[in-house]
Chain A
């Protein structure tokens, strides 16, 4: 079966660092994506990992361990505008579909 797990909710304060974990069990793997989605808006691409290791992009970093079926998204120097839902998604082996987790709602307070 296909299963992607992420925490439902997380809270943090401005300026802090937060790590959102994602574990997956899928029948195939062809890359892992992280998206940010604000309420009522479309998902916005944040990062993509296909090889093990850390990808850094400004305040956002994403890590992947294929052997452990594990990824995390690291957000540094949190801002109020980072309050959103963060979606972890695995691309299937054929590269034709994304399988999404239910998303993690992050609330950033001052």
Chain B
């Protein structure tokens, strides 16, 4: 079965612009979460969606937002881009059940964002 698909893979934006990244989870997975990865901070949790509802949000400014659609696909948006937003943005999908035995989390290939 298809894995987690993220688009676009690479993009370059200028400061002040906004960007939208897309993620299609594994078929049957209802939870989508987003992470930012930078060399200095490592992988940091942005937010998690389950059945179109945001269940959890990390410690990021309001410029970072997301949403999930009825087909479980998710988008994240970053407005007023700053140089420090340059990072690899990873999407992860899972069944999202609270009984977590066997509830493995799988990552997509990521979207490389460069802000100039």
A residues sitting closer than 8 Å to B (CB atoms) are 30-31, 33, 35, 41-45, 48, 50, 87, 89, 91-92, 94-103
B interface residue numbers (CB < 8 A to A): 31, 33, 35, 42-45, 48, 50, 55-56, 58, 90, 92, 96-98, 100-101, 103-110
Q: Is there an interface contact between B109 and A95, defined as CB atoms closer than 8 Å?
A: no
Residue of B nearest to A92 (CB): B56
Chain B contacts of A50 at CB under 8 A? 100-101
Q: List 4 A-B pairs, minimum CB-CB distance, nearest first.
A: A96-B56, A100-B43, A96-B48, A97-B45
CB of A42 within 8 A of CB of B42, answer no
Q: Is the CB of A97 within 8 A of B33?
A: yes
Known: A87-B42, A98-B33, A100-B43. 13 other contacts (CB 8 A): A35-B107, A42-B108, A44-B107, A45-B105, A48-B104, A94-B56, A95-B97, A95-B98, A97-B56, A98-B92, A100-B35, A100-B44, A103-B43
Given the interface pairs A45-B104, A48-B104, A96-B48, the reply to whether A102 lies near B33 with Cβ below 8 Å is no
Q: How far does the alpha carbon of A43 sit from the alpha carbon of B90 in the complex, in Å?
A: 9
* Cα(A100)–Cα(B58), bound, Å: 13
Interface residue from A31, A43, A96 paired with B107 (Cβ < 8 Å): A43
Once the chains are docked, how many angstroms separate the CA of A30 from the CA of B98? 9
Q: Which residues of A contact B103 (CB under 8 A)?
A: 31, 95
Chain B contacts for A48, CB-based, 8 A: 104
If A42-B90, A94-B55, A94-B56 touch, whether A101 touches B42 (CB-CB below 8 Å) is yes
A42 close to B109 (CB less than 8 A): yes
Q: How far is the CB of B68 from chain A (nearest CB, A)?
A: 13
**Assembled-state Cα–Cα distance A44/B106 (Å):** 7
With both chains docked as a complex, state the minimum distance between the C-beta of A85 and any C-beta of chain B, in angstroms.
Answer: 10
Expressed in whole angstroms, the minimum distance between the Cβ of A42 and any Cβ of chain B is 5
A45 touches B48 (CB 8 A): no
